Amino acid sequence: MDASWRPEARGWGEGEKGRGTRGNRVEREFSRATQGTAAATTYGAESKGIREVRLRLLQRQREATDRRLSDVRKGLLINGQSVKLRGYRPEPEKVPDKADSMLTWEKEELRSMKRKMEKDMEKSETLLKSLASCRDTLGFYCKERLQAVELMNQPLDKVLEQAGRHSWVDLSRIPTPRTQGQKTPPPDPVGTYTPECSVALNEAKRLLMESKETLAEMARNESDVREQQQQISDRVCATLVQKIQETLELKERMNMSLGLMRGTIHRCTKFNQEMYVTRGLIKGPLSESHLETREKLNRPLVRVYQRHVGTQLPEASRLAQGTDQLQRHILHVEKNLKELLAARDKLSWSHNCKKIGHEVDHSVVRLRHRQRHPHVCYQEAQLLVEDWDPRAHPPARSKASAVPK
């Protein structure tokens, strides 16, 4: 064979040697970077998972729980305002009823929900602090391992195996995930996976599991509280509506009784006036000018001997007895008429109390339906707790204050 066809003759031997020397130099140059990538891949993945997944989910759940806690506090304010508004009813309407017991029960349930939500907020805050501390610890160990591996030199194959890569080409690219995960190496005090790093990773795994359970529990509690609060509010409103219907029915019956009593009083008054006229007719004329005859029955002889024809008639004594009996009946009718008037006034006052109670309960229902709307925030509902009396008229504005400056 011609010597010119040998690799050494064409300079291929030197080229292969040169490429081999450059390959070894590139391997040594990328050894440290690949070792740092191995450590960063091990610890940075856990840190990134905690930071970008659990923290974000926990923050969102905390926001949802905080909104639900704000709704519960708003419900407590609305409950207090409902009790306060119902306190403006008249005294006869303040007898404890089912609506009062339902409002008291709602207050106790809302307080229990508030304590549960506050406990979830405190628990999530503690978990957030633990996750943040674990993230900082993992970041610290990641930087420490990167600084440590710069002083070490390992074979390229071992570093690539720890880093989960097949080649050292384009090390800045995110490694392609494998179907089968890499086995975690045992802790080595002088290696890249120290016992301190193992403890930090175990703590991170424990926090991940705890955060998963906490997120599920918080979501379940938030959903349960939302449904329970809606059901309680609906039951209270239904009880108030039932109370309004009962008050309205009683008010209508009282109105009918007032009408019947008004007619009875009118007839009794007319009958009393007719009895007064009858008594006047029985008593006769008021003066002598009204007499049709000039004979007087009070002459001395008539008084002494009682021999006048007019004094012997029985009609006079009967008229006198009838007049006395009529007078007694007139007094009895007047007494009954006074009792009827007093009963009418009392019934009218009760009817007015029922009317005020109906208006107050209707205002409470409107208040609850309006304020439990999601667009009404906690601050707007808090303004309702100020001391104000709906029965008091607003103060009159003076002329000086009415004129704009």
Domain ranges of the chain: 14-170+190-285+297-384
Q: Cβ–Cβ contacts within 10 Å for residue 29, how many?
A: 11
The beta strand positions in 117-269, using DSSP E, are: none
Structure tokens at 279: 């008594």
Averages of pLDDT over runs of 10 residues in the chain (405 residues) are: 43 42 43 46 52 77 90 90 90 90 94 93 89 84 72 58 60 56 68 78 84 89 92 94 94 93 93 88 69 58 53 68 86 93 94 93 89 71 55 41 36
Confidence at residue 29, expressed as pLDDT on a 0 to 100 scale: 41
DSSP designation for 295: -
3-state secondary structure string, 286-338?
CCHHHCCCCCCCCCHHHHHHCCCHHHHCCHHHHHHHHHHHHHHHHHHHHHHHH
**DSSP code string of 5-37:** GSTTTTTHHHHHHHHHHHHHHHHHHHHHHHHHH
- Are the C-beta atoms of 35 and 154 separated by less than 8 Å? yes
Q: Are 237 and 369 in contact (CB under 8 A)?
A: yes
Fill in the amino acid letter for 73. R
179-189 b/e with 16+ CB inside 10 Å = b? eeeeeeeeeee
- Contact criterion met (CB below 8 Å) for 182 and 164: yes
Cα distance between residue 391 and residue 351, in whole Å:
18
Residue closest to 109 by CA, chosen among 215, 214, 235:
235
- Identify the pLDDT of residue 404: 36
Predicted pLDDT at 17: 42
- Tell me the pTM: 0.64
DSSP 65-118: HHHHHHHHHHHHHHHHHHHHHHTTS-GGGGS--HHHHHHHHHHHHHHHHHHHHH
User: In this structure, what DSSP letter does residue 178 have?
Assistant: P
Token digits of residue 127: 């978990």
How far apart (Å, rounded) are the C-alpha atoms in residues 213 and 68?
A: 20
Q: What is the pLDDT of residue 300?
A: 57
**What count of other Cβ atoms lies within 10 Å of the Cβ of residue 272?**
15
